[in-house]
Every structure is written in structure tokens, then in C-alpha cells.
Amino acid sequence: MHIVYLGLGTNLGNKEENIHAAVENINRKIGKIISLSSFYETEPWGFSSENMFLNAAICVQTDLSPTEVLHTTQEIEKITGRTQKTKNHIYHDRIIDIDLLLYDSLTIQTTELTIPHPLMTQRPFVMIPLAEIAPDIIHPVFHKKLKEFL
């Protein structure tokens, strides 16, 4: 079994309901939920929007490969109602966004997937909930505890 950390975000519709629906789907399709952070209201990052975000982080135990986790999170985004994916760092409002942040202590870089998530340490809306549930996890590239990034 593998330990995976995912970032969750939403800024459209019933935000708490969107996150809970994503968590339920993650539990059914990816694996057992180990922990879920508090929900944090945050400003949009990388684009302008009138809609505030609700963000959280989740830890999941899975037997899926990193690529299978990625494809499954994309499937969950679609069934939850997400219609646009970020391309070329152009961000949009979204019903749900699920980012694969960490997978065990692996580092992976392919055209489809980069682990750890390359922007996670630059995003307080990712690091605050992630450090809440995994403060002592060591970042596999920077070799620092997650809580040290705060």
C-alpha cells in the first residue's frame, strides 16, 4: 500500500458539498482516507475571480500507481462537474480541483505527471492544510519537513 497526499480546492457552488463529494469519490475509487484537514477559505491564486476558494488536503492509502491516481482524480473532477482543466498556467473558476501532491517519497517527472507537485511549496492554500495533517513528512526534493515551509 502507498500513502498519497492530495490537495482539494473549489470556488463554485456549494463548496463544502463539493469537497465532501470529492472525498467520498476518493474513498470509493482511490483508497482508504487516513486524514482530512480542516477547510480553509482562500483568495484565488494565479487569476482574478470574485469567488473565494475553499481548500483542504487529504491523505489516502492506496494500491493504485501514481498514474492511476492521477487518472482517477481527473475522472472524479469530471463526474463532480469540472469542465475546464488548467492549461499553460491559465486558471479558471472550478467546482473541484484535485492535485496529486505527494506519493510516498517518490519523485517522478514525466510529460503527464510531476511528483511532488511542482508548485505546492509556493502555495499557502496547499501547504497550510497539508502541514496540518502531515507536519513531519519530509519533502522528497527539498528534504525539509512540510511544517518548515510555513
Cα 67 to Cα 108: distance, rounded to the nearest angstrom: 10
- In the block, which residue shows the cell 481527473? 74
Catalytic residue among 28, 63, 94, 123: 94
Question: Helices (H) and strands (E) in the chain — how many of each?
Answer: 3, 7
Look up 82 and say whether it is catalytic: yes
The DSSP bridge pattern shows strands 97-103 and 2-10 to be antiparallel
Catalytic residue among 97, 104, 123, 136: 97
Catalytic residue among 28, 63, 82, 136: 82
Look up 97 and say whether it is catalytic: yes
The DSSP bridge pattern shows strands 53-62 and 97-103 to be unpaired
Cα 88 to Cα 101: distance, rounded to the nearest angstrom: 19
Residue 116 preceded by cis peptide, ω within 30: yes
Look up 28 and say whether it is catalytic: no
Look up 104 and say whether it is catalytic: no
Catalytic residue among 28, 99, 104, 136: 99
SS3 2: strand
Active centre residues (catalytic): 82, 94, 97, 99
